[in-house]
Amino acid sequence: MNHHSESLPSKETASKANQQSEALPQKKKCSLQQRRSRAAWILVAPALVLLASVAGWPLLRTLFYSFTDAALDTPDLYNMVGFDNYLAWADGESIGVLADPLWWKAVLNTLWFTGVSVSFELFFGMLLALLMNQKFRGQGVVRAAILVPWAIPTIVTAKMWGWMFHDQYGVINDLLTRMGVIHSPLAWIAEPNLSMWAVVIADVWKTVPFMALMLLAALQMIPSDLYEAARVDGATAWQRFTRITIPLIMPAMIVALIFRVMDALRVFDLIYVLTSNSEATISISGYAREQLVSYQQMGSGSAASVLVFMMVAGIAACFLYLGRYNDEGKENK
Amino acid sequence: MKLTRRQRHLAHQTLIYAAAALASVICVFPFYNAILTSLRTGQELFLTNYLPTSFHWENYVNALMVNGIARSLLNSFLVATVTVGICLLVSITAAFALARIKFKGRKYILFTILCVSMFPQVAVLSGMFELVRFLGLYDSLGALILSYTTFSLPFTVWVLTTFMKSLPVELEEAAIVDGAGLWIIISRIFAPIMGPSLVTTGLLAFIGAWNEFMFALTFIISNEQRTVPVAIGMLQGASQFELPWGNIMAASVVVTLPIIIMVLIFQKRIVSGLTSGAVKG
């Protein structure tokens, strides 16, 4: 991005220079930049207006409803209740989303899911990217194969894995039994300790290709003479990996990680379909939607939604802060 | 010494091929398993087998006709196409301005768009519910087109901006020298060159809309208006304990096959589209 913004002024001066050589009137030359920047706003306006109405406005209304006691079927009838949907005390008992143990369970589930699933993805994605960066016959086939999980809709992924994890007829239990890992079939979906792992496995399967492709694109931009020089200097494969590969793909890796973490924090459909949104695996998005739709409580549902938003935004802000710090370090060099 | 090096090379090659084979099998197997299951009926469904044993098409007929997946496919196609059309139309001009014109506030707009693309869908759910009801779109495909714009538009603007930035400056300079206005530059010069990128971006946005679940689940009540993900998510057997796995897998294959074919055809473009934000961004 920096590179481009640097190239832009030069383009402007170049076009001005062109106009000068064409000997256009002085007034017109000065206003070119102004006219362009005014036109820019007109060009961007439709997109901004659309975004403001389908994203900005609903977001504000959600925030507003989080302070009311409206029900979903009668959103026009409401009383302002302040922060009661978030946390309040009534008759010596605390109520509200923040006092609900299930909310905290959902927070723990989501954070655990994000941490475990994204770590596995990074690990396997890196392995897969390194593999595809090698030259071998049939590369195209592997690349096509890894695009398959990415292309499959999440709902289908959930159903497919739900069937594979079936306690009696599923192929996972069958394979594990044949390999002698387990002696009796496991109830992957029903057992609370296992169901979270089932979700992680299905998610990792689906999203490793994305990570691998991102990392592969970065790997392919590393000039090969760096490796040759390192080899001449007697660096081992591990040293070449940690001293050349990792630092050079770090920016792309961070971006890929941000994408994946944001996605994992919003997880809803995979869990909703694979484990029927059971309490053992419920995510924060699942919790908010349940309050809103299943219990018809627009107030507390909106409050939970706002909390989800704040949590995701907070983590995103941390990433951006770290990213900026990283960029500054680069510029100082 | 020479022999060991050859052996080492051989071991290296073997390892690579083994890893490649393993990765491919793991990636493709669940889908393969779904196809196998979709071709089985009755008791056969419940015997775990890794090779095709029978070819029954009843599951497909059932899924498409009896369970109404055919109708849902049409709905999904309509919603995704219209959403992508609107988003591309609006975002091409925005992307031109954001990539090609230096103006105050450009960075803030890009930052805002990035933020919107990252915020959780559930955060707008109740506000969107109100908006959809207010516009009288509840339980209609219009509700989905409206809500899908929330996540499609930031995405298309962002990716198209990245693509536009990579085009050479000279193109535009020549046009300016020739006296072309902004509109001419966009419609006559950039739109044609952007063709392939528009296809890629459109396809990625299409897949996003095709797969969306939460809004479709919340804003659609009737069977006739359902999109495919919800229809599959809701497929139920006669009782709670008798899930029609054959039908579910048949429907899953039908929904996935067009996307997989498209992705494999546009493989190279898809990969560059996916990674353009990350590597250049």
Asked if A218's CB is within 8 angstroms of B121's CB, the reply is no
- Please say whether the beta carbons of B28 and A145 come within 8 A: yes
pLDDT at B239: 53
Mean pLDDT of A12-32: 49
Amino acid letter for position A174: D
Q: Quote the DSSP letter at residue A89.
A: E
- The interface predicted TM-score of the complex, written ipTM, equals 0.88
Dist. CA B221–CA B29, nearest whole Å: 34
Q: How many CB atoms lie within 10 A of CB B197?
A: 23
Q: Which of A12-16, A251-255, A286-290, B117-121 has the lowest mean pLDDT?
A: A12-16
Asked if A155's CB is within 8 angstroms of B248's CB, the reply is no
Q: Does A324 touch chain B (CB under 8 A)?
A: no
pLDDT band at A326 (very low <50, low <70, confident <90, very high): low
pLDDT digits (tens, 9 = 90+) for A173-214: 889 988 888 888 888 888 888 899 999 999 999 999 989 988
Structure tokens at B69: 């997946």
Search chain B and give the residue with CA nearest A163.
B245
Question: 3-state SS of chain A: helix, strand, coil percent to 5?
Answer: 75, 5, 20
Which residues in chain A have their CB less than 8 angstroms from residue B211's CB? 153-155
- Please say whether the beta carbons of A111 and A103 come within 8 A: no
Q: Does A213 touch chain B (CB under 8 A)?
A: yes
pLDDT at A224: 86
Search chain B and give the residue with CA nearest A63.
B127
pLDDT digits (tens, 9 = 90+) for B176-232: 888 877 888 888 888 888 888 888 899 989 999 999 999 999 999 988 899 999 999
List the beta bridge partners of residue A93: A90
Q: Measured between alpha carbons, how far is residue A118 from residues A241, A252, B22 in Å? A: 21, 15, 21
Closest CA to B81 of B257, B256, B217, B207: B207
pTM metric for this prediction: 0.86
Q: Does B13 touch chain A (CB under 8 A)?
A: yes
Amino acid letter for position A88: A
The distance between the two most distant Cα atoms of chain B, rounded to a whole number of Å, is 80
pLDDT digits (tens, 9 = 90+) for A209-235: 989 988 998 898 888 888 888 888 888
Search chain B and give the residue with CA nearest A314.
B119
Which residues in chain A have their CB less than 8 angstroms from residue B203's CB? none
Helix (H) or strand (E) holding A93: strand A93-95
Helix (H) or strand (E) holding A88: strand A88-90
Asked if B133's CB is within 8 angstroms of A50's CB, the reply is no
Search chain A and give the residue with CA nearest B105.
A41
Q: How many CB atoms lie within 10 A of CB B28?
A: 16
Instruction: Flag whether pLDDT at A165 surpasses 60.
Output: yes
Q: Does B46 touch chain A (CB under 8 A)?
A: yes
Asked if B124's CB is within 8 angstroms of A58's CB, the reply is yes
- Please say whether the beta carbons of B159 and B94 come within 8 A: no
Structure tokens at A37: 């920047």
For residue A93, the number of C-alpha atoms closer than 13 Å in the C-beta half-sphere is: 4
Asked if B127's CB is within 8 angstroms of A44's CB, the reply is no
pLDDT at A267: 93
- Which residues 87-126 of A are in CB contact (within 8 Å) with B? none
Q: Is B115 exposed, middle or buried (0-12, 13-18, 19+ CB in 10 A)?
A: middle
Which residues in chain B have their CB less than 8 angstroms from residue A266's CB? 120-122
Question: Among A54, A134, A146, A319, which would you mutate to test the B interface (most chain B Cβ atoms within 10 Å of its Cβ)?
Answer: A54
Closest CA to B130 of A222, A305, A216, A234: A305
Compute the nearest-CA separation of B56 from chain A (Å): 19
Which residues in chain B have their CB less than 8 angstroms from residue A11's CB? 169, 172-173
Helix (H) or strand (E) holding A94: strand A93-95
Compute the nearest-CA separation of B265 from chain A (Å): 10
Phi, psi of B52 (to 5 degrees): -60, 130
Q: Does A289 touch chain B (CB under 8 A)?
A: yes
The C-alpha R_g of chain B, in whole angstroms, comes to: 24
Dist. CA B206–CA B143, nearest whole Å: 17
Q: Does A250 touch chain B (CB under 8 A)?
A: no
Q: Does A210 touch chain B (CB under 8 A)?
A: yes
Dist. CA A151–CA B237, nearest whole Å: 27
Instruction: Flag whether pLDDT at A30 surpasses 80.
Output: no
Q: Quote the DSSP letter at residue B67.
A: S
Search chain B and give the residue with CA nearest A47.
B90
Compute the nearest-CA separation of A323 from chain B (Å): 12
Question: Among A6, A51, A97, A261, which would you mutate to test the B interface (most chain B Cβ atoms within 10 Å of its Cβ)?
Answer: A51
Asked if A161's CB is within 8 angstroms of B30's CB, the reply is yes
Q: Does B94 touch chain A (CB under 8 A)?
A: yes
Query: What distance lies between CA A51 and its chain's CA centroid?
Result: 20
Percentage of chain A exceeding pLDDT 70? 87
Of A40, A65, A171, the CB nearest to B97: A40
The three-state secondary structure class of A72 is coil
Instruction: Flag whether pLDDT at A48 surpasses 60.
Output: yes
Number of H helices, E strands in chain A: 14, 2
Dist. CA A177–CA A171, nearest whole Å: 10
Structure tokens at A224: 């090969």
Phi, psi of A221 (to 5 degrees): -90, -5
Residue that the structure tokens 């009838």 belong to: A77
The three-state secondary structure class of A95 is strand
Closest CA to A186 of A202, A171, A204: A171
Which residues in chain B have their CB less than 8 angstroms from residue A221's CB? 279
Q: Does B189 touch chain A (CB under 8 A)?
A: no
pLDDT digits (tens, 9 = 90+) for A88-109: 887 777 788 888 889 999 999 9
Which residues in chain A have their CB less than 8 angstroms from residue B124's CB? 55, 58-59, 62, 305
- Please say whether the beta carbons of B128 and B150 come within 8 A: yes
Closest CA to A24 of B178, B100, B182, B185: B178
Mean pLDDT of chain A: 84
Dist. CA B53–CA B91, nearest whole Å: 50
Low-confidence residues in chain B, pLDDT < 50 = 279-281
Search chain B and give the residue with CA nearest A297.
B126
Question: What are the b/e assignments for A264-294, b being 16+ CB within 10 Å?
Answer: bbbbbbbbbbbbebeebbbbbbbbbbbbbbe
Q: Does A259 touch chain B (CB under 8 A)?
A: yes
Q: Does A58 touch chain B (CB under 8 A)?
A: yes
